[in-house]
Structure 1
Amino acid sequence: MNRLPNLDPLRFFLASLVLLFHLPQLSANQGLPYFDGLPIYHRGLEAVYMFFVLSGFLIIRLIYRAKIRDAFSIKDFYIRRILRIFPLYYLVLGFGLFFYNVILPFLNIPFEINYTWKEALFYNIFFLPNVFANVYEPGGILEILWSIGIEEQFYLLIAPLLFFINVKWILRILSALLIGYFIIYWSDVFEALQQYLFVFFYLFTGGVIAILEEKKKLEFLKRSAVFPLMVCIATLLFFVTDLFHFEPLWLHSLLTCLLFGLFIHSLAFNSRGVEVNNKLLHHFGSISYGIYMFHAIVLNAVVFLFLKLEMLQNLNETLTIILLHLLTFAGTLLIAHLSYTYFELYFLKLKNKFRK
């Protein structure tokens, strides 16, 4: 299947925003110099939300196109998702539990553990890492798994739902689910939805946009270059300024659903011939899952070096901040590349056996 243009570089950009979000947090927590004075350092959560829109966009588009060909298999869908997500997910989960429960005590670094192994395995094996992260605050390496849990929960719901729905009704039902769930989420009827960030409306948004495009109902957006340009500028301003950040939160979520959906559509289908063809950026996009999953591990290692090595402790604040950024980014890219090349790629190649 041909890959849509510009989405791989977008993945890398979003993963980098998450790294930038966490870097000053851990540095400040450990008493190291840090810088977070630009709005872009505070957009990590929104970057994950755009990941959700992108995921819903791609997954529902894939299912919809398969149903049109009468070739959608729930079994094959789940096997492909398992091969993509599980190997790295369980690798990081295992390392995170070992890190906080074994490595830190061995190094005499205090860290409160308020959960049992049974609780950790229950929540994280049965697709509830978002609940585990909120209830126990188990540490950054484990807490970032919350977003993978949201994706897993969505896959459990969306595949059987779309399998049994007539293809003619998919757009209407997804639209109803998007609107209904958004209202329920922000109505405070079920407080746990907000508490544990069950933000499925972002994934539904991506799916609705994808099907609207498949049904040729978004052609009016392509009549002028002005609209995609305005969407891209607005998205850039969203991440680098505070112009679009306001209360109430439901309105902020409504804005991000609309903006992120239109932005992804503009990049993939309405780029007016503008396409990022840089091989390095595309590769970084291909390894973005690893960048997201490994960045907290690398960040902890880099911060540990600055706390323990005297030569690094004697640097001035500005140089310390610059080196923290460079070492964390370089280390994360290196490990993500090695993981993709020598670990993930083995499972990704197996996915081809389950495509029709």
Structure 2
Amino acid sequence: MSYSYRVEALDWQRGLLALSIMIYHLMFWHGETTTASSVIGRLGIYAVSMFFVLSGLSMAIAHERYELTIKSSIQFYIRRIFRIWPLLWLAIFAVTAKSLLLKNEDISIYKILLNLTTAFGFIEPSAYLNTGAWSIGNEMVYYALTPIILVIYRRSVTGGNILALASIAIGGVYALNLLTPAQPLELQWNTYIHPLNNLFFYVMGVAIYYNAKHLKPQLALPAACIFLSACIFAIFPSGSDNSSIVTSLNRLVFSSASVLMVFGFFKITPILSKTLSSPLERLGIITYGVYLLHPIVNSAVTMLFARLDWQLGAPTRILIISLATIAVANIAYELIEKPMIRLGKKLA
């Protein structure tokens, strides 16, 4: 059975999620309101969660026939490293250079090494240097676990689902006990970004594949799932602080909506015209660059605006920076990501 159509639809979702995260950050940085009671505020948090689900699903699709051996494990890790590290190193270099220019003493050699090797995800999740890079640290932890997760699911879907339930239970401990809606999320940020708190999203991505891979693509059910998820993100009541949507019952509601959304895109029959689908698919392909580079592009363009003394409104600044980010991400993909992905495959 071919899954090309599903990959296409998932690329659409990746592209839309990357846009939402970038706009969320840019709105915040440029003085626009982004509370947890707004759609963009919620996507600013849960778009990253959906990326974890998409990542688990993508790994299951790409490695369905995975056999746990030393050779296959080394090949898997080589490919992931060559996919993640090269662009991350560029981003780390940019942030480090800026820090040195501003004489920021918060960056140490130890911290740089943790980031270059993505070891911070295993050792100190809060030691990331680049905005949003905490999720990359989480991903590297999940990649380390992926061979075991895939083998469990391949041998027994029931066994895999038990593993998924266990990961959900761990997430429940965070939502109900370790995190609280009584405090702002920034005061609990180090707890929130721990890999164990978000592990269930990744495992649920693998679960979606193994439990639904035999379902034929259709329009009605997946579209209903996407619509229901969108309604939850749009109208489900919550407080204004981000802690209100990542704790207690709201954590269950928005997490379920995130998983349901990914399932919908996974199984939907593509109905978009080539005019609409091509840009979304391309945006999905360059998602990593958009996600990782938009803070750097924002800093550079904002400094340029200041130097030129351009007095632009926030919407105009956000639009220009967004377009610049997409352009830079395209260049980075062609010059850095694509060659390194090919090299990783060749070495593996």
Structure 2 length normalisation: TM-score?
A: 0.80
* Structure 1, gaps ≥5 residues long: 29-33, 106-111, 314-318
Decide which of 309, 322, 329 is 1:336's aligned counterpart: 329
**Structure of larger gyration radius:** 1
What's 1:48 paired with? Answer: 48
* Shift, 1:266, TM fit: 1.8
Deviations 1:282-331 (A, max 9, x none): 11111111111110011111222233322x13xxxxx5223212211111
Structure 1 distance, partners of 2:255, 2:142, is: 16
* 1:184 lines up with 2:173 in the alignment: yes
Structure 2 distance, partners of 1:276, 1:349, is: 30
* Shift, 1:187, TM fit: 4.9
| Match runs of 1:200-211 below 5 Å | 200-211=199-210
Percent identical: 24
What's 2:10 paired with? Answer: 7
* Structure 2, gaps ≥5 residues long: 180-187
* 1:274 lines up with 2:271 in the alignment: yes
| Cα distance, 1:244–1:201 mapped onto 2, change above 3 Å | farther
Deviations 1:143-165 (A, max 9, x none): 32111111001111222454477
58-67 or 72-81, larger mean C-alpha shift: 58-67
Decide which of 111, 119, 138 is 1:119's aligned counterpart: 111
Structure 2 distance, partners of 1:146, 1:87, is: 17
Structure 2 distance, partners of 1:152, 1:325, is: 31
Given that 1:54 and 1:264 are in contact with CA atoms closer than 8 Å, whether structure 2 keeps it comes out as: yes
* Shift, 1:341, TM fit: 1.0
| Match runs of 1:1-356 below 5 Å | 2-3=3-4, 4=6, 5-28=8-31, 34=32, 36=34, 39-42=38-41, 43-67=43-67, 73-102=72-101, 104-105=102-103, 112-122=104-114, 125-128=117-120, 134=126, 142-163=130-151, 167-168=155-156, 170-188=159-177, 194-198=191-195, 199-214=198-213, 216=214, 225=220, 227-239=221-233, 241-243=234-236, 245=238, 247=244, 249-269=247-267, 271-275=268-272, 277=274, 278-310=277-309, 312-313=310-311, 319-353=312-346
Deviations 1:246-299 (A, max 9, x none): 657132222233222222222222x24535642222111111111111100111
* Shift, 1:195, TM fit: 4.1
274-283 or 11-20, larger mean C-alpha shift: 274-283
* Shift, 1:335, TM fit: 0.5
* Shift, 1:342, TM fit: 1.4
| Cα distance, 1:19–1:65 mapped onto 2, change above 3 Å | same
Structure 1 distance, partners of 2:269, 2:118, is: 43
Deviations 1:31-61 (A, max 9, x none): xxx4658924312121111111111111134
Q: Give the RMSD, CA atoms, in angstroms.
A: 3.4
| Cα distance, 1:129–1:97 mapped onto 2, change above 3 Å | farther
190-199 or 56-65, larger mean C-alpha shift: 190-199
Structure 1 distance, partners of 2:75, 2:57, is: 19
Deviations 1:190-235 (A, max 9, x none): 9997343421111111111111013x4x67x96x82x333322223
Given that 2:18 and 2:287 are in contact with CA atoms closer than 8 Å, whether structure 1 keeps it comes out as: yes
Amino acid at match of 1:281: L
* Shift, 1:85, TM fit: 0.8
Structure 1 length normalisation: TM-score?
A: 0.78
Given that 2:92 and 2:115 are in contact with CA atoms closer than 8 Å, whether structure 1 keeps it comes out as: no
Amino acid at match of 1:325: I
Structure 1 distance, partners of 2:315, 2:261, is: 31
Aligned length: 325
